[in-house]
Amino acid sequence: MNISYIPLIPLVPLAVFLLLGIFNKKIKPSVSGYIGVIGLSISTVLSLNAAYQYFFISGKVDGVYQTFVDKTVWMHFTDSLHIDMGVLLDPISIMMLLVVSIVSLMVHIYSRGYMKGDDGYTKFFAFLSLFSFSMYGLVLATNLFQIYIFWELVGVSSYLLIGYYYTKPSAVAAAKKAFIVTRFADLGFLIGILIIGYYTGTFDFETLNNPEGNVILNWASSSFMGLSVITWALILIFIGGAGKSAMFPLHIWLPDAMEGPTPVSALIHAATMVVAGVFLVARLFPMYYFVENGFALNIVAYVGAFSALLAAIIAITQTDIKRVLAFSTMSQLGYMMLALGVSGYDGHDGVGYMASMFHLFTHAMFKALLFLGAGSIIHAVHSNYLKDMGGLRKYMPITHITFLIAALAISGVPPFAGFWSKDEILVAAYEHNKLIYYVGVFVAGLTAFYIFRIYFGIFWGKDKKYEHKPKESPWSMTFPLIVLAILSVVGGFIPFSEFIAADKVGFTAHLNYPLAAIAVSVGLIGIILAWIFYKKENSLSDTYAKAFGPFYKWAYDKFYFDEIYLFVTKKILFKRVSGPIAKFDKKIVDGTMVGIGNTTVLGSRKIKGLQSGRVQDYAFSFVIGVVIIAIVFIYLWTV
Amino acid sequence: MISGISIYEILTVTSLLFFIGIYGFITRKNLISILISVEIILNASVINFVVINKYLYPDMLQGVIFSIFIIAVAAAETALAVSIIINLYRQINSVEVKDTEIMKY
C-alpha cells in the first residue's frame, strides 16, 4: 500500500495554521474561513482515500490487517535508542483519522457561521488548524515519544481555544485549569514512557505491542513493590490518558473547559482530544492485556466504570446545558475505558476493544452533534442556562430534529448509532465482569434520563420571554448538524468488528438480543421518566430534588471535587509545602545573592570618596604606598 | 670628586631635595607651583645621576649623558605643561588645583 501521501494529512493543517497565524491581520475574515475549510477538506479527502485503500483494497493480507509504517530517525541517541518521526497506519489510526477529519471539517464549516463577526475570527481558524494538525500527528504516531509530543501539542491547542475569550476571567481560569490538570497527569505519562524506554530499550509501538515479542514475554524480568515495572509504567501511562480523557479523579477540568467557544467544545472536548486517552490505551492494548495478566487493564476498567457512574449522576443535576453535555462526555468516555478494561484479545473475546473503538466513533458523531446543536441554541437565545430556554422546537426545526436524533443515539435507542456500540460494550462487560455490567446498564438509564431532561427543557415546555425572537441558525451552521445527524443514524450499521479487532483479524459480531432488550428498556425507562418530569413544566422535579435533599445538593456541586482539589492544593500544597520552599528560595538563596550585591554597593558608597579627582591625593597615596613597600622590603622582608 | 665632601652628604642633599619636591607636589594649591615641584624632583634625580657617576665610576660618562637627556626632556615637558596650564586658564580663568576637580566619581 502506498502511504507516501499520509504525512500530508497533518501537514496541510499545519501549513494553514502558519499561513493564518503569520498573516493574521492581513487576511480578511471571509477569506480565512474558506482557507481553513479548504485545508481541512484536503486532509479529509486524503483520510477517506487512505481508509478506502486500507480497509477495502490493500490493508488485509491473509485475513490479518497489516501495519504500515513510514518513519525516519529524528533524534539519534544510541543505535538501539532513538526517537523516530513517522506515520503508522493500522485499523485504529485509520478510524481515528476519519473521526478527526469528519468532526473537524464539520466544526470548521460550523464555525464560519458561529464565529461570524468575532474579532479574532482568523486567529480562531488558525488555532483550529493547529489543533487538527496535532491531533492527526497524535493518531499517526509511530512511537511513544512522538505521541507524547503531539499529546502536548493538543494540550496547548486546547488551552489556547478554551482561553479564546481571553477578556473573560472565567475563561482564562478554565484554560489554566485544563492545562495544569492535564499537564500534571502527563507527568505520569512521561515517567511511564521513560520507564518503558529504560527497561525495554525501545519506544516503538510495533516492537512493544508484539504479543510474541521480548517486551511482552519478559514482563516479569524486573519488578518493583510486588508488580512488574512494566505494569507500573502502564499504570503511569494510564494516568496521562485519564488526565486527557477526564477520568476520575482528574476530570475536574472538563466542565470548566466549556468556557471556550461551543465549536471548540464539540471538536476538542467531546469528539477528538478527550478520546486521546482511550486511544492511547487502545494503542498499547496488547501490552495492557498481556503484561501481568492484565493488572493495569483492570484498573482501567474500574476507573472507567466509576467515572461513567459519577459523571452521569452529576449530569442529572446541572442546569448549564454545556455542562450537562460535558459530564455526559466524561460518562461516555468512562464507558469506552471500561469496554477496553473488560476486553479480551483473540477473536470474539476482543469484543470490548472493538466496542470501545466503535463507541468512540459513534460517540464522536452524536456528541459533536449535541454540542453543535447546543451551540446553535445558545446562538439563538444567548444563554447557556436551561431556565432561559423552552418551546424552541417551533423556532428552530432543524436544530430540534438533529438534537433529537443525537439524544436518541446517546440513549441507545435502536436503530441509532449509540445503540449498536453501547450494546457491544454491555455484551463485553457481561461476559467478563458482572459488577461493571450492572454499573453500565444503570449508567445507560441515567444517560437517557439526563439527555432527555435537557431535550425537553430546551425544546418543549412553555415559551420563555425572549428578547429577540429565536430563529433558526444560518445554513453554514445547520449543514454540519444535518451531516452529523445522518452519520448518527447510519453510523451504527457499519460492521465495525470486521474492521477493528484487538488481534487485527476481525470477526462477526452478533446482536445479543436479551442484553440489547435490557439496555433498550432501561434507556426507554429513562426517557419516559424524563418525559414525565420535564415535558410539561411541573413541580415534580423540584419535589424529588427536595426528597434527595443533601445528596442532590452534593451532586449539584459536583461532589465537591473542585473544593477538595482547591483544599489540597491551596491549603496543603501551597501553604505547607510550596510556601516554605518559596520562602527558603526568597530568603536564603535570593537573600545571599542580594546581600552580596547590597554589601558591595554599600561598601562602594563608603569608599567612593577616595576618587576625589584631586591628582595630589592620588600622588599622596602613591607616595605612601611606595614608602610602605620600601619599608617592607628593606626592613621587614627577611628571607 | 669634590674634596672634603663624601657621597653620603650629597645623596642626603638630593634626598632632601626629592622629598621637598614631593611635599610641594602634594601640598601646593597652584598648578605652576606643582610644576616647579616636579622640576625639583627631576633635578634631585639628575644630581643623583651625576654624583653616582662621578663617585663610583669616574672613568665613564653614562650618568652625565643621561642627566643631559633628562634636562632636555624636562625642558620640553615644562613647555608642554605650561601650555596646558595657559589653555586651562583661558577656559576657567584660574590655575588653582581646586578648580580642576571635575574628574571624580
Q: What's A238-255 look like in SS3?
A: HHHHHHHCCCCCCCCHHH
Identify which of B25, B27, B104 has the shortest CB distance to residue A611. B104
| pLDDT given at position A592 | 93
The complex's ipTM works out to 0.81
| pLDDT given at position B49 | 92
CA A202 to chain centroid: 26
Beta carbons of A609 and B103 less than 8 Å apart: no
SS3 A227: strand
| pLDDT given at position A163 | 87
| pLDDT given at position A507 | 77
Q: How far is CA A361 from CA A308, A418, A490, A509, in A?
A: 18, 10, 12, 17
- Closest chain B residue to A611, measured at CA: B104
Mutate to test the interface with B, among A620, A622, A624, A626 (most CBs of B within 10 A): A620
Q: How confident is the model at residue B17 (pLDDT cuts 50, 70, 90)?
A: very high
> Which of A18-32, A153-167, B76-90 is least confident?
A18-32
Q: How confident is the model at residue A209 (pLDDT cuts 50, 70, 90)?
A: confident
Beta carbons of A616 and B25 less than 8 Å apart: yes
Position A175 pLDDT exceeds 80: yes
A530 versus A16: the higher-pLDDT residue is A16
Strands A82-89 and A68-76: what pairing? antiparallel
Position A371 pLDDT exceeds 80: yes
Tell whether A614 lies on the interface with B, counting CB pairs under 8 A: yes
Tell whether A508 lies on the interface with B, counting CB pairs under 8 A: no
Exposure string of A244-275, with b = 16+ CB inside 10 Å and e = fewer, is bbbbbebbbbbbbbbbbbbbbbbbbbbbbbbb
Chain B residues in contact with A619 by the CB 8 A cut-off are 22, 25-26
Q: Which three cell numbers stand for residue A608?
A: 567612593
SS3 A336: helix
Average pLDDT of chain B, as a whole number? 89
> Which of A110-114, A393-397, A425-429, A541-545 is least confident?
A541-545
Length in residues, chain B:
105
Position A303 pLDDT exceeds 80: yes
Beta carbons of B26 and A619 less than 8 Å apart: yes
Position B105 pLDDT exceeds 80: no
Chain B residues in contact with A623 by the CB 8 A cut-off are 22, 26
What is the rounded distance in angstroms from the CA atom of residue B102 to the CA atom of residue B105? Answer: 9
| A252, A260 Cβ separation under 8 angstroms | no
Chain B residues in contact with A609 by the CB 8 A cut-off are 105
| pLDDT given at position B13 | 93
Strands A82-89 and A223-224: what pairing? unpaired
Average pLDDT of chain A, as a whole number? 85
Q: Which three cell numbers stand for residue B20?
A: 621637598
Tell whether A607 lies on the interface with B, counting CB pairs under 8 A: no
Chain B residues in contact with A620 by the CB 8 A cut-off are 26
Give the H/E segment covering residue A170.
Answer: helix A169-200
| pLDDT given at position A478 | 86
Position B69 pLDDT exceeds 90: yes
Q: How confident is the model at residue A254 (pLDDT cuts 50, 70, 90)?
A: confident
SS3 A213: coil
A63 versus A528: the higher-pLDDT residue is A528
Categorise residue A292: left if φ over 0, alpha if ψ from -120 to 50, beta otherwise: left
Percent of chain A with pLDDT over 90: 12
| pLDDT given at position A608 | 84
What is the rounded distance in angstroms from the CA atom of residue A455 to the CA atom of residue B93? Answer: 98
Mutate to test the interface with B, among A606, A608, A616, A626 (most CBs of B within 10 A): A616
Chain B residues in contact with A612 by the CB 8 A cut-off are 101, 104
pLDDT digits (tens, 9 = 90+) for A17-38: 999 888 888 888 888 888 889 9
pLDDT digits (tens, 9 = 90+) for A331-370: 999 988 988 888 888 777 788 888 888 899 999 988 999 9
State the count of interchain CB pairs (< 8 A) between A and B. Answer: 29
Chain A residues in contact with B101 by the CB 8 A cut-off are 612-614
Q: How confident is the model at residue A77 (pLDDT cuts 50, 70, 90)?
A: confident
- Closest chain B residue to A616, measured at CA: B26
| pLDDT given at position A630 | 92
| A247, A303 Cβ separation under 8 angstroms | yes
**Beta-bridge partner residues of A87:** A70
| pLDDT given at position A537 | 66
Q: How far is CA B23 from CA A113, A613, A617, in A?
A: 94, 19, 12
Beta carbons of B104 and A612 less than 8 Å apart: yes
Average pLDDT over residues B42-59: 90
Nearest to B43 by CA among B8, B5, B9, B75: B75
Q: Which three cell numbers stand for residue A43?
A: 486532509
Beta carbons of A616 and B104 less than 8 Å apart: no
Average pLDDT over residues A150-179: 89
> Which of A109-113, A390-394, A599-603 is least confident?
A390-394
| A355, A424 Cβ separation under 8 angstroms | yes
Instruction: Output phi, psi for B20, to 5 deg.
Output: -60, -45
CA dihedral A428, A432, A437, A440 (to 10 degrees): -50
Burial class (CB in 10 A: 0-12, 13-18, 19+), A422: buried
Q: How far is CA A577 from CA A181, A561, A583, B90, in A?
A: 19, 21, 10, 72
**DSSP-derived secondary structure letter, B62:** H
Chain B residues in contact with A614 by the CB 8 A cut-off are 97-98, 101, 104
With an 8 Å Cβ cutoff, the interface of chain B facing chain A consists of: 22, 25-28, 34, 97-98, 100-105
Beta carbons of A616 and B27 less than 8 Å apart: yes
Burial class (CB in 10 A: 0-12, 13-18, 19+), A352: buried
Chain A residues in contact with B104 by the CB 8 A cut-off are 611-614
| pLDDT given at position B103 | 64
Tell whether A517 lies on the interface with B, counting CB pairs under 8 A: no
Beta carbons of A623 and B105 less than 8 Å apart: no
What is the rounded distance in angstroms from the CA atom of residue A544 to the CA atom of residue A548? Answer: 6
Nearest to A541 by CA among A464, A459, A449: A449
What is the rounded distance in angstroms from the CA atom of residue A482 to the CA atom of residue A488? Answer: 10
